[in-house]
A and B are shown apart, each in its own frame.
Chain A
């Protein structure tokens, strides 16, 4: 957790109990926590304190969550994690389209939020592949980003060029949601942004090659309708 030390998190929520629980928990884990109770205060706090990551509730008293995202995205690329109500895909899609980086569905487990936070902080701490990061071990399989090789139980797994492209993009963004559109755009090209069906096929193919139990993936996760996420 050395990376996360002294990272500043802005928590925006109008429910004091949630803010309190997050403040205590995050502070105990070494984050510096700032809080805001509405959208106006949030915009002001970002401008003044330049946090490393923003945790934003979509239901705020004074303005819509997506408006806050829009206000921030005008001038800053700070990672934004959205807290959204369950079952409302429209909300999530809207927030992601407005420029949010990731989301956590309420009620959320603390572990889940922490994982998203870590991924977001890692992103903001600009980290191209250096020696230490080039090898990613999931326990089930190992990915060597520099050598472009995947090993499972000591044996090298053969991946096609496209499979590798998909896997690499997900691994480089580990822990973070990679939107379908982004995957299609980066791996196949800009004219294929809507062909999400094939993406599904490739991910399934990768899972069969790498996951211990492909129908219950642990590392190559799907957020249905949104995108994909690689978790160690």
Chain B
């Protein structure tokens, strides 16, 4: 026994509030907890809390003791840092310390704040702290991919994971954006392009998911720890579990690999199940089992074997037993036609799976050809083989019994023995084996039991009758069996046909391209190379729709040709089909014709609708243009009329004014005509962008020189941002139109200027034109870009036909970019133009390296 150590001082507990993004309310929640503890009489101090100027937060801080910060000078800048030593000296029960990921100013005791927190915990002080998900080290690169912003400040996951309590502070992205828009998170002047971008709904949703998943993972770990500690063995799973079912055929490898991918994507556990049939028919050789077991281990899964006759039931029982959420099975290895007569394991599993998702995976072994049936018989080959064997064995058996028990049995009993044998053979093997059994039986009966014994001669007429009766019985029973089997087959076939026809009908009714899909289905179901719908137009055959490769150009080339009408034929190629299949195909051909007509009707309707829309557009255009074109034209005509009037004497000043009016009106006309022209080019699809790398800085400068009253626009576009791939001319029109719109609608009483800001986001570079005007009415963000739209409604008297933004959208999209309208925080409209960044720059040819004295000026935001 070791000597007893002095009682170890209690280590403090760490409680962390984790959030998806700034502004979700971490600090607020943390301070709420601090207040509760304070009210309970706990000794709480604030080690460091940033209120970010938020009023509600500041209210919570008031009244809690704060340890003064330490002032540090570093390279001529002053910093306020947490005073670790002062807190240690103060020795409270609980210290509240914001922003766990913070990096201390160089020269501090520790590099990172979380290290300071460790010192506090070691000293037995409980700590409340906050961290954002983007600061977690393991998520750093993921967050950068989502947001396009690299995070400098990180916390090792271990630190957060080891916290005694981890609380997720979660609000919906919409609520957070509302907070942002109301100015509750940052003051309006701090919200620039980059920040606004960080708070895009897509970003926030992704970050929230990350945070939720990370915490869920921690909860899972905690759960496992708890279960291990409490020795709980029954399954309680919150996580995904994927079961792959293999039969042992060569496709098993594909299935296991596919299952492993599915599991990896879902972060799920993978189990491989091998089902051993009770009859041993589909069992694997031990070699094959070993191979798949090894593969299973390689992909990090577990291998299980169950025995069961009914594969779907065995599979689902197992899956439910292990709480599986997803099942992976292969498509059938049987031929397509064979599957017509039996729904197969896949369909049964899907039907019975309930809450478990089923993936049916295709593989190279799928769908062989129909094996040749023994000609003429509806019975399966195995049954017929068995029949032939029994036809030889059973009469011999009857003879043996009769000979051994000759003294105890009379002739009629012997006869019954043979008849019984014949009937059994007929039931199993049908007509052929039955006849063999009857003739063999009759011969044996004659030879062994009818006098004279051991000859094939028949004396008594009654024995002749017996022999004939046996043959007749054999034939009759066999016929009944044959008929029954034939009926069963027919019924199955009819069922399949009905199901097929119903599925075809559904395709025609519901699919978006019914004809192609229908033909493709037929091709699949009947195992053909191609299915073609041919139509005769102007005495020539034309392909209306094709499925598969190597289609027929003419009905004569087809292996099976079905005439729907004289002019429409369904031509199948690949193999000859039995007559029974033709019946289904004729029905299909009828449906194909229907689908064709339906498709043509739909096209005609769409055309009519387009026409109506065009007419509507034209009317709107005419009324808008009528006014907007005529006004400047009138002013030009009036001015010129005045200038040329022979009887009028004008002062130089008047002449100048008239001339100015002419020039302004002409400019207005030019602008309007440009937009009209651009709209019609967009409408007719005549815009062909000439993409090349170009910088937003250049385009904005050039666009501003062509927009009236653009002196007030604040430009903050860093020329060092990557170039975008765009058509410079088109992009200039886009920017000019958006800025023009912002200047006309974005005026506000406070005189806040329109601004243009650019920022880069992984694959895209965005330009934001921000105004502080009336903005959009709620829910009208999409219609802002519709033509003839004036955001202010009918009473808007600002000039312009409302084509500017619609042209901007059309051009941006033609260049492979996107444009969207957002609310400016604090009110107003922000239009965001997003174009793909140009990546063709040769990194080897860094021209800046030419100039050693190239000065790296401070970045313009």
A residues in contact (CB < 8 Å) with B = 86-90, 92-93, 107, 160-163, 188, 191-192, 194-205, 208, 215-217, 221-226
| B853 and A160 form a contact (CB under 8 A) | yes
Contacting residues, chain B, for A92 (C-beta < 8 A): 729
Interface string of B701-739 (1 = CB under 8 A from A): 110110000000001110110110001111111000000
Q: Take A215-B715, A224-B699 as given contacts and tell me if A192 and B847 are in contact as well, using a CB distance cutoff of 8 Å.
A: yes
Choice from B698, B722, B730, B853 contacting A222 with Cβ under 8 Å: B698
Q: How far is the CB of B546 from chain A (nearest CB, A)?
A: 37
CA distance A87 to B666 in the complex (A): 18
For the complex, give the distance between the alpha carbons of A205 and B855 in Å. Answer: 9
21 A-B pairs with CB atoms under 8 Å apart are A86-B674, A87-B730, A89-B727, A89-B728, A160-B853, A188-B850, A191-B845, A195-B845, A197-B722, A198-B848, A200-B719, A202-B847, A204-B719, A205-B854, A215-B700, A215-B716, A222-B702, A223-B702, A224-B728, A224-B731, A224-B732
The answer for the CA separation of A92 and B690 in the assembled complex, in Å, is 11
Report the nearest A residue to B719, measured CB to CB: A204
CB contacts (< 8 Å) of A199 on chain B: these are 847
| Cβ-defined contact, B715 with A197, below 8 A | no
Produce 1/0 per residue, B676-702, CB < 8 A to A: 001000000000101011110111111
Q: What CA separation (Å) do A222 and B845 show in the bound complex?
A: 23
CA distance A195 to B755 in the complex (A): 29
Cα–Cα distance between A86 and B688 once the two chains are bound (Å): 14
**Which B819-861 residues sit within 8 Å CB-CB of chain A?**
838, 840-842, 845-848, 850-851, 853-855, 857
A160-B854, A161-B851 as given contacts; A200 in contact with B690, CB under 8 Å? no
| List of A residues within 8 angstroms of B699 by Cβ | 224
Contacting residues, chain B, for A225 (C-beta < 8 A): 692, 694, 727-729
B670 at the A interface (CB under 8 A): yes
CB distance from B29 to the nearest CB of A (A): 43
- Say whether chain A's binding surface is mostly helix, strand, loop, or mixed: helix
CB atoms of A198 and B701 under 8 A apart: no
- Of the candidates A93, A107, A208, A222, the one whose C-beta lies within 8 Å of that of B701 is A222
Chain A residues whose C-beta falls within 8 Å of the C-beta of B841 in the assembled complex: 195, 197
Residues of chain B within 8 A (CB-CB) of A203 are 719
How far is it, in angstroms, between the C-alpha of A197 and the C-alpha of B841 when the chains are bound? Answer: 8
A119 vs chain B, min Cβ distance (A)? 18
- The CA of A69 and the CA of B420, in the complex, are separated in Å by 106
B697 is contacted by which of A89, A188, A204 (Cβ under 8 Å)?
A204
Q: How far is the CA of A199 from the CA of B723 in the complex (A)?
A: 11
* A198 neighbours in B (Cβ, 8 Å): 846-848
Chain A residues within 8 Å of B704, by CB:
216
Asked if A195 contacts B842 (CB within 8 A), the reply is yes
Q: Is the CB of B698 within 8 A of A200?
A: yes
- How far, in Å, is B662 (CB) from chain A's closest CB? 13
CB distance from B120 to the nearest CB of A (A): 48
B45 to chain A, nearest CB (A): 49
Are A208's CB and B857's CB within 8 A? yes
A195 to chain B, nearest CB (A): 5
| Residues in chain B near residue A215, CB distance under 8 A | 697, 700-701, 715-717
Nearest A residue to B842, CB-CB:
A195
User: Nearest residue in B to A224 (C-beta to C-beta)?
Assistant: B728
Residue of B nearest to A163 (CB): B851
- Provide the residues of chain A in CB contact with B855, threshold 8 Å: 160, 205
A88, A192, A225, most chain B CB atoms within 10 A: A225
Name B670's closest neighbour in chain A (CB-CB).
Answer: A107
Number of A-B contacts (CB under 8 A): 101
Contact B690 A89 (CB under 8 A): yes
* Chain B residue, CB-CB nearest to A106: B670
Q: Closest CB of chain A to B679's CB: distance in Å?
A: 12
Tell me, rounded to whole Å, the shortest Cβ–Cβ distance linking B752 to chain A.
18
For residue A84, give the distance in angstroms from its CB to the closest CB of chain B: 10
With A89-B728, A224-B698 in contact, do A195 and B690 touch (Cβ < 8 Å)? Answer: no
**Complex contact A87–B847 (CB within 8 A):** no
Alpha-carbon distance A160/B848, docked complex (angstroms):
11
Give the Cβ gap from A94 to chain B, nearest Cβ, in Å.
Answer: 9
Most buried by A among B716, B722, B723: B723
Please measure, in the bound complex, the distance between the C-alpha atom of A194 and the C-alpha atom of B848, giving whole angstroms: 14
- Across chains A and B, which 6 residue pairs bring their CB atoms closest together, nearest first? A225-B728, A204-B719, A198-B847, A224-B728, A89-B729, A215-B715
**For the complex, what is the distance from the CA of A70 to the CA of B730, rounded to whole Å?**
27
Contact residues of B between 202 and 227, Cβ < 8 Å to A: none
Question: In the complex, are the beta carbons of A196 and B693 less than 8 A apart?
Answer: yes
Cβ distance A71 to chain B, nearest Cβ, rounded Å = 24
Question: Chain B binding site: helix, strand, loop or mixed by DSSP?
Answer: mixed
In the complex, chain B residues whose CB is within 8 Å of the CB of A217: 701
Query: Is B728's CB under 8 angstroms from A87's CB?
Result: no
Select the residue from A90, A201, A224 with max chain B CB neighbours within 10 A: A224
Chain B CB within 10 A, most for which of A86, A107, A160, A197: A197
B653 → A minimal CB distance (Å): 21
Report A228 CB to chain B, min CB distance, Å: 9
By the criterion CB–CB under 8 Å, are B693 and A88 in contact?
no
Residue of A nearest to B711 (CB): A216
A22→B693 CA distance, assembly (Å): 36
From B729, which residue of chain A is reached at the shortest CB distance? A89
Minimum CB–CB distance for B680 against chain A, Å: 13
Interchain nearest-CB distance for A192 vs B (Å): 6
- Find chain B residues with CB under 8 A from A162 CB: 847, 850-851, 854
Select the residue from B717, B729, B851 with max chain A CB neighbours within 10 A: B729
Docked CA distance A221–B727 (Å): 18
Please, how many angstroms separate the alpha-carbon atoms of A52 and B722 in the complex? 41
Bound-state CA distance A153–B581 (Å) is 95
Taking CB atoms, residues of chain B closer than 8 Å to A86 are: 674, 729
Taken together as a complex, chains A and B put the C-alpha atoms of A115 and B727 apart, in Å, by: 26
Contact between chains at B838 and A197 (CB < 8 Å): yes
B723 touches A196 (CB 8 A): yes
- Min C-beta distance of A220 to chain B, whole Å: 10
Q: Once the chains bind, are A200 and B697 in contact (CB under 8 Å)?
A: yes
A202 neighbours in B (Cβ, 8 Å)? 847
Chain A residues, Cβ within 8 Å of B716: 215
User: Residue on B with the closest CB to A218?
Assistant: B705
CB distance B729 to A87 under 8 Å? yes
Closest residue of chain A to B717, judged by CB?
A: A215
How far in angstroms is the closest Cβ of chain B from A13?
18
Instruction: Give the Cβ gap from B733 to chain A, nearest Cβ, in Å.
Output: 6
Do A87 and B733 have beta carbons less than 8 Å apart? yes
Chain A contacts for B730, CB-based, 8 A:
87, 89
CA distance A173 to B695 in the complex (A): 23
Complex interface: chain B residues within 8 A of A93 (CB): 690
How far in angstroms is the closest Cβ of chain B from A99?
19
A216 to B651, CA, bound (A): 36
Complex formed: what's the CA distance from A225 to B699 in Å?
9
Q: Could you say which residues of chain A place their CB within 8 Å of the CB of B731?
A: 224
Sample of 14 further A-B pairs with CB below 8 A, known A89-B730, A224-B732: A86-B674, A86-B729, A87-B730, A87-B733, A162-B847, A194-B842, A195-B841, A196-B723, A197-B722, A199-B847, A200-B695, A215-B697, A224-B728, A225-B727
Question: In chain B, residues 632-686, which have Cβ atoms closer than 8 Å to a Cβ of chain A?
Answer: 666, 670, 674, 678
Q: Hey, which chain A residues are within 8 Å of B845, CB to CB?
A: 191-192, 195
Residues of chain B with a CB closer than 8 A to A222's CB: 698, 701-702
Chain A minimum-CB-distance residue to B840: A194
A224→B691 CA distance, assembly (Å):
12
Would A201 and B848 be within 8 Å (CB), given that A89-B690, A93-B690, A215-B701 are in contact?
yes
| Distance of A224 Cα from B855 Cα, bound (Å) | 24
Q: Kindly name the residue among A87, A201, A208 whose own CB sees the greatest number of chain B CB atoms within 10 A.
A: A87
CA–CA, A200 and B853, complex, Å? 17
B157 to chain A, nearest CB (A): 38
Contacts of B722 in A (CB 8 A): 197
Q: Which residue from chain B places its CB closest to the CB of A85 in the assembled complex?
A: B677
Question: Considering only CB atoms, which chain A residue lies closest to B666 in the complex?
Answer: A107
Give the CA-CA distance A162 to B694 in the complex, in Å: 21
Select which of A88, A188, A204, A224 is within 8 A of B847 by beta carbon: A188
Query: Within 8 Å CB of B692, what residues of A?
Result: 225
State the Cβ distance, A12 to closest chain B Cβ, in Å: 22
